[in-house]
């Protein structure tokens, strides 16, 4: 029997009533992973399963039997992206064969927080190798270690973003929730293409320590799930001050004790929402769905301000790519240099490994971006400081902050992605259209949530809400009210391709 599409609350109710055990649920998910991720549709969303997951779940069941539960995630199966350290027997590789056998000595902060609140880390998810930034023409969801992640709704379509495996695992019901990571779009874009909810928190709300990042001004980790309520529950578990990530000092001051308290079905009444029209115009089907969603927001009581301009920054534009070049070099040198089990100890050694193992590591596309990053200086370089300051100015002062202030907005809405998912093509690379709204909140470091808005010929489309720093309560509330009123999400049926 397949596991139901449990929410976290459903699972806890079933556990309390004795209808399910955590060990039984974990076992069902492991069976489903074997049936549809490793065979059948062969989604390849999981890069590794935790061999200790059943034993961990059994221990948590024993705790429950003794009258102790650690919190709302007690016994809940969660998967984490393969750039996040877990101090167990699973490797952390960012999808790369160069890091096979890289066993971390301790949990990343978020992994420890999950365990402290009783979650079962079921396994690690496949991803775009090195966070999508190995080549200048990469393919979303492909890694040399894990192969190509497939979109669960239409198998030959892209899963998008580097947290592709996390999104697909949630959509295909291989877990209850997941942790993704984003520098620009890597949580929200795969959430949109997999018809799930993904939240990119404000930079600093969730620690990045123990995770392989790209660029510190924009890097963050965040929750992905099938419902807004589950995202709020997982986010609550992840926040807190971490001495290994100084940005969390400010984040801990703004963290809510429990984000579930903002799950208000009438939150949209009186909310003033701006429509970022610069994020439209790439696909008529996406635009029509999101326009319908905006009309529904108005019916639910929101005051719509249309249009507003959230940013003039293009997705992966020149300034952002320059920031990523410097940031990736610093991030990889820092991570690899502190993980003796990684095999390669620097970006320079990684590039050499890839060249020596090109037939296995680079069968479709190269490592131009890694080479570009290697040529950069460090984070004290005057050009890096200029680029970071200019992005901050354009993303915040002349972008979201300006729009929010001038139009007196509570949040901004837009299509998450400019079009439905394109066809997977590892030879040519991704066919990303320039629409969508991941860049403004990513560059600003501000919160962004994507929630299912509907389907274009069976391909999911997401609606985004984003706002100023630490405004997670507002965007969670608005996304929840929209979700509850529309209930558009449906499970995938693993169609091989679109009908002609």
Give the tens place of pLDDT for each residue, 3-36. Answer: 999 999 999 999 999 999 999 999 999 999 999 9
**Three-class secondary structure assignment of 361-387:** HCCCCCCHHHHHHHCCCCCCCHHHHHH
Instruction: Record the pTM.
Output: 0.98
Listed in sequence order, the residues at least 6 apart from 321 whose beta carbon sits closer than 8 Å to its beta carbon are none
Are the CB atoms for 88 and 52 separated by under 8 Å?
yes
- 8-state DSSP, 118: T
Give pLDDT, residue 72: 96
Cβ(355)–Cβ(363) below 8 Å? no
* Residues annotated catalytic, as ranges: 81, 162, 186
N-terminal to C-terminal alpha carbon distance within the chain: 33
pLDDT reported for residue 447: 98
pLDDT at 1: 66
pLDDT in the model for residue 500: 80
- Which parts of the chain sit beneath pLDDT 50? none
Non-local (6+) Cβ contacts of 375 within 8 A are 325
User: Is there a cis peptide before residue 307, judged by omega within 30 degrees of 0?
Assistant: yes
Max CA separation in the chain (angstroms): 61
Number of separate helices (H) and strands (E) present in the chain: 17, 13
pLDDT on residue 312:
85
- For the chain, list the domains and their CATH numbers: 8-486 (3.90.1300.10)
């Amino acid at each position: 029997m397949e596991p139901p599409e449990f929410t976290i609350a459903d699972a806890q109710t079933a556990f309390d009533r004795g209808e399910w055990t955590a060990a039984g649920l974990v076992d069902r998910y492991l069976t489903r992973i074997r049936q549809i991720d490793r065979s059948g549709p062969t989604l390849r969303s999981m890069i590794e399963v935790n061999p200790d997951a059943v034993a961990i779940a059994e221990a948590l069941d024993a705790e429950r039997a003794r009258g102790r539960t650690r919190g709302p995630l007690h016994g809940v199966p969660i998967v984490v992206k393969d750039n996040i350290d877990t101090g167990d027997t699973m490797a952390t590789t960012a999808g790369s064969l160069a890091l096979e056998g890289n066993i971390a000595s301790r949990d990343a902060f978020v992994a420890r927080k999950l365990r402290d609140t009783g979650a079962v880390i079921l396994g690690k998810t496949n991803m775009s190798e090195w966070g999508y930034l190995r080549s200048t023409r990469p393919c979303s969801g492909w890694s040399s270690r894990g192969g190509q992640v497939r979109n669960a709704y239409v198998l030959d379509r892209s899963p998008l973003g580097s947290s592709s495996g996390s999104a697909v695992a949630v959509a295909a019901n291989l877990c209850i929730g997941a942790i993704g990571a984003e520098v620009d779009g890597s949580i929200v874009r795969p959430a949109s293409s997999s018809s799930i909810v993904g939240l990119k928190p404000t930079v600093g709300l969730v620690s990045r320590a123990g995770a392989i990042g790209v660029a510190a001004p924009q890097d963050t980790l965040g929750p992905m799930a099938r419902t807004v309520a589950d995202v709020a529950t997982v986010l609550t578990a992840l926040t807190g001050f971490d001495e290994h990530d100084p940005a969390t000092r400010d984040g801990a001051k703004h963290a809510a004790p429990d984000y579930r308290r903002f799950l208000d079905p009438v939150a949209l009444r009186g909310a003033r929402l701006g429509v970022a029209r610069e994020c439209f115009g790439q696909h008529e089907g996406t635009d029509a769905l999101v326009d319908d969603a905006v009309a529904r927001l108005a019916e639910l009581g929101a005051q719509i301000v249309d249009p507003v301009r959230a940013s003039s920054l293009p997705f992966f534009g020149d300034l952002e790519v320059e920031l990523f070049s410097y940031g990736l070099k610093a991030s990889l040198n820092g991570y690899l240099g502190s993980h003796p089990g990684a095999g390669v100890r620097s970006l320079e050694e990684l590039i050499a490994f890839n060249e020596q193992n090109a037939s296995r590591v680079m069968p479709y596309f190269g490592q131009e971006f890694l080479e570009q990053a290697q040529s950069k200086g460090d984070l004290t370089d005057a050009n890096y400081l200029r680029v970071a300051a200019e992005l901050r100015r354009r993303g915040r002062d002349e972008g979201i902050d300006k729009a929010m202030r001038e139009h007196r907005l509570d949040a901004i809405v837009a299509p998450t992605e400019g079009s439905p998912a394109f066809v997977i093509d590892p030879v040519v690379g991704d066919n990303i259209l320039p629409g969508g709204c991941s860049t403004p909140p990513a560059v600003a470091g501000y919160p962004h949530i994507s929630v299912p808005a509907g389907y274009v010929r069976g391909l999911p489309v997401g609606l985004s809400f984003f706002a100023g720093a630490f405004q997670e309560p507002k965007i969670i509330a608005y996304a929840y009210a929209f979700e509850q009123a529309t209930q558009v999400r449906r499970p995938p049926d693993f169609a091989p391709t679109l009908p002609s």
